[in-house]
């Protein structure tokens, strides 16, 4: 399982999306007949894809549009939507900033002392989503969860996500009150999703604490710089396999099946398909949806920790605008690089692999294939089209 990297020290080899491929079996299924249903609490979603809780991706209008398409959009309660009554002007400022100015500007616009989160806006945003008759899913950092969850519950929220760079049940701190995750899960009246994790052991502890879902991934997002700034993370295929093994063990022992959600690092349909094959029940995607015409970032996307006052672990990137949300999620695709019709790609892949539902997708064969991205693609690479972009 591990190789020597020096005297007395061994390291495990781990794998990301570009290093593996999926192998067709002996049966194929009509893609139109596969079942991609994802269940969270009392809700069933036909599209097991979440739009990430990032300010350049999700606002109220986007959440409504995503919900009507059968997917999930997560609203960030720590962000611009709950700090400013009219966030459009703030979003324009971020989009128009130079690369050199962007991080400093984001830090100033998210400064808690000057622009704190307004409790009335939390309720207002959730109520607006619910008024459209789609589920409202929100997220915040652990320090704000106790207060924000009460406001969100009163406004009719359907699920609550507590999200941090690294989630643990046993967080040690003396400068602030630590959130008791087990107590929080027990007392919160809606499903609680916890994250982020990349290991078997930590996933199992979050499940024992009462999580209704777990986010898998540290640092793979297109706008995240945690891996560079902190040096931490595990490639997403290995992280997903390990965390899903904890889910399966917990299910055998407790009889409760808790979904795993691979979060980050997926740009295109093929990578999403590989996440499901690694064991995921749903995925959370940011940059692909930041390209939607409906996305509030106007073709720009920035990490959740870009605004950190002391140590930013995200950056603002330009992703452009490639099409409508419907085209990106459901098609028809107008581009040939796999960044649109993500559900169509998932269904076609499942059909080709003989998987009739997501759980059967967990059992398909995965191989190590470092040449999968380049084999036979010399012209695409040379011309920067298709898989060569």
My answer on whether omega of the bond before 332 falls inside 30° of 0, hence cis, is yes
Which residue in 185, 224, 244, 273 is the catalytic one?
A: 224
Q: Is 318 a catalytic residue?
A: yes
- CA–CA distances in Å: residue 102 to residues 38, 113, 167, 222: 37, 20, 28, 16
By the 10 Å C-beta count (0-12 exposed, 13-18 middle, 19+ buried), 79 is classed as: buried
Rg of the Cα atoms in the chain = 20
Which residue in 13, 253, 318, 334 is the catalytic one?
A: 318
Residues that are catalytic = 224, 318
């Amino acid at each position: 399982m591990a190789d020597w990297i020096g005297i007395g020290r061994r390291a495990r080899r781990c794998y990301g999306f570009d290093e593996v491929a999926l192998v067709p079996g002996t049966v194929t299924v009509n893609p139109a007949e596969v079942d991609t249903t994802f269940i969270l609490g009392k809700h069933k979603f036909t599209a097991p894809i979440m739009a990430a809780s990032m300010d350049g991706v999700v606002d109220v209008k986007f959440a409504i549009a995503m919900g009507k398409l059968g997917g999930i959009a997560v609203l960030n309660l720590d962000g611009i939507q709950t700090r400013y009554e009219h966030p459009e002007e703030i979003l324009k400022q971020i989009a128009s900033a130079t690369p050199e100015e962007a991080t400093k500007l984001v830090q100033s616009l998210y400064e808690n002392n000057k622009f704190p989160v307004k409790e009335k806006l939390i309720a207002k945003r959730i109520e607006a989503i619910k008024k459209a008759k789609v589920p409202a899913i929100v997220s915040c950092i652990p320090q704000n969860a106790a207060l924000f969850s009460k406001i969100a519950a009163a406004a009719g929220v359907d699920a609550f996500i507590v999200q941090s760079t690294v989630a643990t049940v046993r967080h040690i701190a003396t400068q602030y009150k630590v959130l008791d995750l087990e107590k929080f899960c027990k007392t919160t009246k809606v499903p609680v999703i916890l994250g982020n994790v990349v290991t078997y052991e930590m996933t199992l502890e979050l499940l024992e604490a009462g999580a209704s879902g777990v986010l898998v991934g540290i640092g793979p997002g297109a706008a995240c710089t945690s891996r560079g700034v902190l040096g931490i993370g595990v490639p997403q295929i290995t992280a997903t396999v390990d965390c899903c093994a904890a889910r399966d063990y917990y299910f055998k022992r407790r009889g409760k099946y808790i979904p795993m959600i691979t979060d980050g690092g997926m740009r295109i349909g093929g990578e999403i398909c590989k996440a499901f094959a690694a064991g995921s029940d749903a995925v959370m995607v940011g940059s692909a949806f930041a390209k939607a015409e409906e996305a509030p970032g106007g073709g720009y996307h920035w990490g959740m920790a870009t605004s950190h006052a002391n140590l930013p672990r995200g950056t603002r990137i330009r992703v452009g605008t490639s099409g409508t949300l419907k085209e990106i999620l459901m098609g028809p695709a107008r581009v040939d690089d796999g960044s649109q019709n993500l559900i169509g790609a998932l269904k076609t892949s499942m059909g080709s692999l003989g998987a009739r539902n997501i759980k059967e997708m967990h059992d398909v064969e995965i191989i190590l294939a470092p040449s999968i991205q380049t084999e036979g693609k010399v012209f695409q690479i040379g011309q920067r089209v298709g898989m060569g972009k």
